[in-house]
Amino acid sequence: GENVEQHPSTLSVQEGDSAVIKCTYSDSASNYFPWYKQELGKGPQLIIDIRSNVGEKKDQRIAVTLNKTAKHFSLHITETQPEDSAVYFCAAPANAGGTSYGKLTFGQGTILTVHP
Amino acid sequence: GAVVSQHPSWVICKSGTSVKIECRSLDFQATTMFWYRQFPKQSLMLMATSNEGSKATYEQGVEKDKFLINHASLTLSTLTVTSAHPEDSSFYICSAAPEETQYFGPGTRLLVL
């Protein structure tokens, strides 16, 4: 099965700075990589995802990059704001090409704190 | 779009009672739903995969007789914690997947006294 490693576990930035969170995965057949934001006491919310046929995807202040050769993908948040403070999880298919369609393996999470 | 609801949002119950949690996809049909458990400051722990009209697939170490899952329709899955004990207290989250993307519910906080 897939193994996903996420770093750093905590990240503290000043408002306006950029934040980068990186994940590595083990299964070269994985082709779908979502990122989720989880605020305290709430369920995770999908913020962006990328498929293996592209190397980068942007949505306003959020971008995700994918390096299939190195098997890693990163979340980039620019011009951070205090409301970006949350826990961020990356994920990859738990069994790409197998029978567990839709099942994901999650990273350990990154606690992002944006200081005003 | 892609809204998933959970009910109740929080529940307190006595030890030995059973608790049912509902997960609904409001604006799409989900062939697959997932149930997770999350401990404070930890990642999501998958408990089981639920497919409409068939038995749920439980992850290793999850007691299927303890955590009963029913996926009666393409928009509703339920998780019943039977004979709940204090160690079952946790944050339970469902997700619904119309395809490969999972959309999560807001979670249910269970406290067993």
Q: Could you give the C-alpha distances from A14 to A20, A79, A80, A83, A85, in angstroms and in order?
A: 13, 9, 8, 12, 11
Peptide bond just before A116 cis, omega within 30 deg: no
- Best mutation target among B25, B43, B50 (most A Cβ atoms within 10 Å) is B43
Residue A109 has a pLDDT of 97
Asked if the model's pLDDT at residue A102 lies above 90, the reply is no
What pLDDT, on a 0 to 100 scale, did the predictor assign at position B99? 83
A1 pLDDT band (50/70/90 cuts)?
A: confident
Spatial CB neighbours of B92, under 8 Å, sequence gap ≥ 6: B21, B35, B36, B37, B38, B79, B107, B108, B109, B110
Name which of A42, A102, A109 is nearest B102 (Cβ-Cβ): A102
Flag whether residue A7 sits within 8 Å of chain B, measured between CB atoms: no
Contact B103 A46 (CB under 8 A): yes
pLDDT value for A97: 63
Per-residue model confidence as pLDDT tens digits over A14-65 = 999 999 999 999 999 999 999 999 999 999 999 999 998 889 999 999 999 9
pLDDT tier at A100, thresholds 50, 70, 90: low
Q: Check residue B98 and give its pLDDT.
A: 86
The per-residue pLDDT for range B59-73, each reduced to its tens digit, is: 999 999 999 999 889
Q: Which residues of chain B are modeled with pLDDT < 70?
A: none
Q: Residue A26 CB: number of other CB atoms within 10 A?
A: 13
Output the pLDDT for position B29.
Answer: 92
Nearest to B100 among A36, A89, A101 (CB): A101
Confidence of residue A76 (pLDDT cuts 50, 70, 90): very high
Q: Which residues contact B55 (CB under 8 A, 6 or more apart)?
A: none
pLDDT confidence of residue A99 = 57
Average of pLDDT values for A72-93?
A: 97
